[in-house]
A and B are shown apart, each in its own frame.
Chain A
Amino acid sequence: MHMFPADSDVVEALGAQRDFQPSDQEHFARFSGDWNPMHMDALAARRTQAGARVVHGMHLLLWALDHLASSNDRIGFLTSAKVQFPAFVHLDRQVTLAVVKNDSDGMRLQVMVDQTLVLNATLKFGENIDSVSRPKVDADTIVIGDTPLELEFEAIGPQAGRLGIPEGETKLAERLFPALCRALGTSAVCEMALLSTVVGMVVPGLHSILSKVAITFRGGECLLPECDFRVSRTDARFRQVELTAEGARISAVVTTFARVPPTPAPTLEAASALVAPGEFRGRRALIIGGSRGIGAATAKLIAAGGGTVTLSYAEGRAEAEAVASDINRGWGSSNCTIFRYDAKAKAEPQLAALPSSFTHVYYFATPQIFGPRRMEYSAERFLEFVKIYVDGFYNLAMALVKSQAPSSLSFVYPSSIAVVERPRYMSEYSMAKAAGEILCADLVRNIPGLSIDVPRLPRIDTDQTATVPPVAAVSAFEVMLPLLRGQRN
């Protein structure tokens, strides 16, 4: 039997680093059963507030503990872990593990991405606690596939059930987290992974975010890993959901959020109810970034008013096709065409194949707006915004001005109220939009006949602005229709 190590024997594990690749996600999903698309599907994840695939929080925790266990006997005496996941970890980003406190009270781990805290864990140790029988829970075993449940918030409250790890997959635990399985037992590791599966696949399920876990470890013989769970509290104000979970080797309280589902795409039918027939007849619109959100809404409004639309997508081809299909079905003709456009690449070759000249150009190209929230400033992030909001718009505008008379073109460059309101942790975004405003003013001053509207848009209800807790935002139609009406036809 291991002896509980004295403080002086504890090895500080500092500076462990790694990144997570799609294959890592696949392995963890196979082992745990958590196939939530936020982790596995690039296109679906793009429509969440994470903006791209993110690492499973429990995967991050198990990696951190496994790394510590490989060099530190103390992990074998873990009695409890309180863990917070304050920010998402995207794939390919380097994470760094540090032990920031280590004394007789316990240990505190932090995992960082750049200067952003993404995991904070407080660990307590002691002589192995006696085996305590798992409380009996009257729960049905749930067989999960690879599609998470999608529950209305009101339906979450009564949820309860039991999940298990398929027998063969426990071996995968020993391959993925060998040191931790030796230290805590394979059952405990499997049951920790099952917490991820409960949250990501069952409740809250599809639209979930793991926020915190508080785990107490039980001793005892190695049993078949299982996890009984029950929703213990919901709070509709914040869409917060708390679960209790009981396994053979762990007991846990899990705090999660039920994300607001992605904003439904605005329909041509809804746009037609707002726009007079023929209101935008003769308008030949080029919409850069039109596959979703405000770009898609603008396309629908112009099409509803009798204009023709050419819209671009960067990654969401299927979404762009859905926008075009809705418009063309409504009109019974090809009023909308789509093409791929990369705002960071040269504009002219990408525009060369387009069929006609344009009267109006709308520039909604954007990277993910809401990023890590612990950094006051990141030059890398600022440059990412500048490439699209400044360089990308300049390249597009100059390419179009070369191919047709400036006086025949009317641009909309969407700026933001962030330029004046300056929300915290959005310095880079606000600065890049301010730079875009200056560029537009100078282009208008230097190119006779050129017209660029530069509205400072409020927070608009799109996938990009959907947050936990929900923040008030206005509809894209409400914002764009007066703008479109104010433009020359």
Chain B
Amino acid sequence: MNEQEIYEALTGIFREVFDDDTIVLSPDTTAQDINGWDSQAMITLVVAIESHFGITFRTAEIEALESVGEFAELIAAKCKAVA
């Protein structure tokens, strides 16, 4: 799965979770940029991303995530490891 595919999938997940079709993600997007991205929304995101990509995050990995770019990098690494 390439970076563009990951961002397309992430955009769909973010739009679904935050019920906002105008969300456009970039590697620098953080919780400060999206209204409602709090700790509970983060859990919803993680569960949706895990389900979509067939991967699992460890708690420490989730705690270290600060931006969409970091999310995408971690997803790419996990998908590569699974493949």
A residues near B, CB below 8 A? Answer: 82, 84, 86, 108, 117, 120, 122, 211-212, 235, 237-238, 240, 255, 257, 373-374, 424, 467-469
Contact = CB atoms under 8 A, between A and B. Distances in A.
B19 A120 contact: yes
Nearest to A85: B40
B59 interface: yes
A122 B32 CA distance: 24
A252 B46 CA distance: 22
Nearest to B35: A374
B36 A374 contact: yes
- Say whether chain B's binding surface is mostly helix, strand, loop, or mixed: helix
Nearest to A471: B39
Nearest to B41: A86
B15 to A, nearest CB: 12
Nearest to A255: B44
5 contacts: A86-B40, A117-B36, A211-B44, A374-B36, A424-B31
B34 interface: no
B40 A468 contact: yes
Interface of B: 19, 31-32, 35-36, 38-41, 43-44, 46-47, 59, 62
Given A108-B19, A120-B19, A122-B19, A240 B39 contact: no
B59 A237 contact: yes
B66 to A, nearest CB: 12
Nearest to A101: B19
A235 B59 CA distance: 11
Contacts of B39: 467-469
A412 B59 CA distance: 36
B43 A469 contact: yes
A260 to B, nearest CB: 14
A240 B36 contact: no
B10 to A, nearest CB: 19
Nearest to A239: B43
Contacts of A468: 39-40
Nearest to B59: A237
Contacts of B31: 424
A240 B62 CA distance: 15
Contacts of B47: 235, 238, 240
Given A120-B19, A235-B47, A238-B43, A86 B36 contact: yes
Q: Which 7 A-B pairs have the closest CB atoms?
A: A238-B43, A237-B59, A373-B38, A122-B19, A240-B43, A469-B39, A469-B43
Nearest to A238: B43
Contact of B40 (A82, A120, A211): A211
Given A86-B36, A255-B44, 18 more contacts: A84-B19, A117-B36, A120-B19, A211-B40, A211-B44, A212-B44, A235-B43, A237-B59, A237-B62, A238-B47, A240-B43, A240-B47, A257-B40, A373-B38, A374-B35, A374-B36, A424-B31, A424-B32
A238 B45 CA distance: 12
Contacts of B32: 424
B21 to A, nearest CB: 10
Contacts of A255: 44
A374 B41 CA distance: 13
